[in-house]
Amino acid sequence: RAAEPKGPQKIPGIDRILAVASGKGGVGKSTVSANLACALAQQGRRVGLLDADVYGPSQPRMLGVSGRPASPDGKTILPMRNHGVTMMSIGLMTNEDQAVVWRGPMLMGALQQMMTQVQWGALDVLIVDLPPGTGDVQMTLAQKAQVDGAIIVSTPQDVALLDARKGIDMFNQLKVPIIGMIENMSTHICTNCGHEEHVFGHGGVAAEAAKMGVPLLAEVPLDLQIRLASDGGAPITVSQPDSAQAASFQAIARQL
């Protein structure tokens, strides 16, 4: 009997795994994950999106995917596909309005199942939308799979930044390289009068990134179109690919 593999492993067929993380919930981590995945697909990359946000899986809605994934052989699971992105979400295995009250070992089992039993096929990049914070799922992912980089999403608010810093510290400990930080909800431009307002402050993430010695990848505005697009199941990079809002995601995708 073969010995259990030790340490982080490559998932067969998957070239690179990139994690999108945040210290706090609601800062736009899933929005960033969905838009980066769609932008990568548009740039001709074979891309997968694993929605590991066990407490609030939002990728089925954001990518416009529903229904239960099929398992023709009863062992492996066929992923879903939309907008050129191959995807799997914990949300497709539970009812949408059902609270996930799993304990650590169950979470880890579900994550491992999504990594190893889903027929991802050949992928250039697998984006993993992590739950917020520094918990079991993050640890399990980094210990079981070879994660090539992490992107940290934060709003400019002090409370969000404080938690983002903990996230960076965790990835440093797990020896996962930080690709950079994204300031989301950076500024708001009034659709009526064009007045620019910094609802959550501005520049906090740039300052934090400089302090931590990691790149600032983008400052994404708080924008109604971004929210409407995600809620409608076609992220802004898909529904309005030529917009200024889509451009910042496309620019990050080109660097990945």
Stretch that binds ligand ADP, among 71-79, 112-120, 205-213, 215-223 (CB under 6 A): 215-223
To ligand ADP, the closest distance from the beta carbon of 186 in angstroms equals: 8
Reduced 3-state DSSP string for the chain: CCCCCCCCECCCCEEEEEEEECCCCCCCHHHHHHHHHHHHHHCCCCEEEEECCCCCCCHHHHCCCCCCCCCCCCCCECCEEECCEEEEEHHHCCCCCCCCCCCHHHHHHHHHHHHHCECCCCEEEEEEECCCCCCHHHHHHHHHECCCEEEEEECCCHHHHHHHHHHHHHHHHCCCCEEEEEEEEEEEECCCCCCEECECECCHHHHHHHHHCCCEEEEEEECHHHHHHHHCCCCHHHHCCCCHHHHHHHHHHHHC
| 24-63 footprint of ligand ADP as x/- string (CB under 6 A) | -xxxxxxx------------------------x-x-----
Task: Please report, as residue ranges, which positions from 56 to 95 form the binding site for ligand ADP (by CB under 6 A).
Answer: 56, 58
Nearer to ligand ADP, 31 or 140 (CB): 31
Stretch that binds ligand ADP, among 18-26, 114-122, 143-151, 205-213 (CB under 6 A): 18-26
Stretch that binds ligand ADP, among 72-80, 172-180, 194-202, 222-230 (CB under 6 A): 222-230
22 binds ligand ADP per the rule CB under 6 A: yes
Query: Contacting ligand ADP (CB under 6 A), which of 19, 63, 147, 185?
Result: 185
184 binds ligand ADP per the rule CB under 6 A: yes
Q: How far apart are CA 238 and CA 225, in angstroms?
A: 12
227 binds ligand ADP per the rule CB under 6 A: yes
Query: Contacting ligand ADP (CB under 6 A), which of 36, 226, 238, 252?
Result: 226
Q: Which amino acid is at 247?
A: A
Let me know if 213 is exposed, middle or buried by CB neighbors in 10 A (0-12, 13-18, 19+): exposed
155 binds ligand ADP per the rule CB under 6 A: no
Nearer to ligand ADP, 47 or 222 (CB): 222
254 binds ligand ADP per the rule CB under 6 A: no
Stretch that binds ligand ADP, among 99-107, 167-175, 202-210, 221-229 (CB under 6 A): 221-229
Which residues sit in the known binding site for ATP?
23-30
**Number of other CB atoms surrounding residue 105 within 10 Å:** 10
Residues at the interface with ligand ADP (CB under 6 A): 22, 25-31, 56, 58, 184-185, 220, 222-223, 226-227, 230
